[in-house]
Amino acid sequence: TYVVLKVQNLKSTTIDRRGSDPCWEQDFMFEICADGKGFLVELWKKGLLWDSILGVLWIPLATVEYATDEGPGSWWTLNSEVIKNGSEIEGTKTPTSHEILLDVYFALPF
């Protein structure tokens, strides 16, 4: 499995890991505009011919707090559907059985 993070016009992917409890321990830093609405987290399963999506999560940037260092993170339930208003993503719905542990924060300037 692997994770794809999408925010504004940026996209980043973890390396793929095997097993029922994969751990990526990867940090991602994005420089984004303050007017961004949120970011999308996708969990994918690597396939022989094609990959399949296991779940998605929309995190509004308005809910992200500032921090100076990493925290313990929070468990998030992944969903199977993305809610859109035209081309704008507004959220996700229909929970799956998959969860992901994420530590999400705005880094304070040095």
Nearest-angstrom CA–CA distance, 89 and 61: 12
Of 75, 74, 81, nearest to 58 by C-alpha is 81
Please write down the long-range contacts of 94-98, taking CB distance under 8 Å and 24 or more positions apart.
Answer: 96/54, 96/55, 98/43, 98/54, 98/55
Would you say 96 and 79 are in contact if contact means Cβ atoms under 8 Å apart? yes
This prediction has a pTM of 0.89
Q: Is the dihedral of CA 39, 45, 51, 53 positive or negative?
A: negative
What's the count of helices (H) and strands (E) in the chain, helices before strands? 0, 8
What stretch of H or E contains 104? Answer: none
The structural domains of the chain, ordered by start, are 2-107 (2.60.40.150)
What tokens appear for 45 in the block? 């399963």
- Is the predicted pLDDT of residue 109 greater than 80, yes or no? no
pLDDT tens figures, 22-48: 889 888 888 887 667 899 999 999 999
Q: How confident is the model at residue 77 (pLDDT cuts 50, 70, 90)?
A: very high
